[in-house]
Amino acid sequence: MFHAKNYVLAESLEEAWQLNQKRTNKILGGMAWMKMSKQNYQSVIDLSALHLDQIEEQEDAFSIGCMVSLHTMETDSRLDTYFHGAIRESVRHIVGVQFRNCATVGGSIFGRFGFSDVLTCFMALDAQVELYKGGILPLRQFASMPYDNDILVRILLPKKGKLVSYQSMRNTATDFPVLAVAASFDPQDGWLICVGARPGKAAAVVCQEPHFSSPDDNQAEQLASFVQGQVSFGSNMRASAAYRSHLCKVLVKRAVKEIASQSSEKRESL
């Protein structure tokens, strides 16, 4: 468990940012992972009084405050409907409901963990992050940046009408993923397929080949092989690199087929 001399309930983002510039201070998220550390801090900074725990639907995007819990996202009917259940699928295996009621989306994204289901899913949705000083950045750019003392204020999910699927493989139901795949598609941008828990942070593969717009089984196989060849894998206690490479192809095919099914249902409803 970590230790701190002072607890500060921030009254503004500016106050929180100023305090966070000291290396001995730390922003509190949901403390799901932080509580497992053995760090000593001068002050811990709580953002819970800043009304950043809301999901707001705007004309062109969903705005998700950094203090929104994973379970709140999981049960939000607007996100579930618009993103075809992918967000719910990406978080429902994470430990348990009690944990997901504590863990925040801001902590998950700012941490840029290699095992993060949320990071993998949001990257495939072309998510953006809003930093207090750094402004709005694409999540794919933010994920590759070094850690700093800025504050992640909210995540923006553009309403592009993408078809999307989230797939993962776990050794046990509530364990970290052995491999995770999030795929999205729209006719203008083509395919965006993100592979996470490699065991590194999610890698994105873009494919705009026209003949993959309505893939049959053979084309799904080709697309899965293409993604498999673009991503590197490593070994750890959960799986070998070779096994992850094999899983990548399987999960991409599943995601592509699910999206093809969504496309068929969408055409039938028109």
Q: What is the tens place of the pLDDT at every residue in 197-209?
A: 999 989 999 998 7
Q: What is the predicted pLDDT for the residue at 25? A: 94
Lateral strand order in the sheet of 163-170: 163-170, 177-186, 190-196, 203-207
C-alpha radius of gyration, the chain, whole number: 19
Q: What is the predicted pLDDT for the residue at 214? A: 67
Q: Which two tokens stand for residue 72?
A: 């709140």
For the chain, give the percent of residues with pLDDT over 70.
95
DSSP, res 83: T
Strand 55-57 to 40-46 pairing: unpaired
Mean pLDDT of 74-101: 95
Q: Does pLDDT of 269 surpass 70? A: no
Neighbours of 196 (CB within 10 A): 28
Q: Does pLDDT of 112 surpass 50? A: yes
Q: Which two tokens stand for residue 24?
A: 């001995």
Question: Which of 123-132, 204-213, 231-240 has the lowest average pLDDT?
Answer: 204-213
Neighbours of 59 (CB within 10 A): 5
For residue 266, name the pLDDT band (cuts at 50, 70, 90). Answer: low
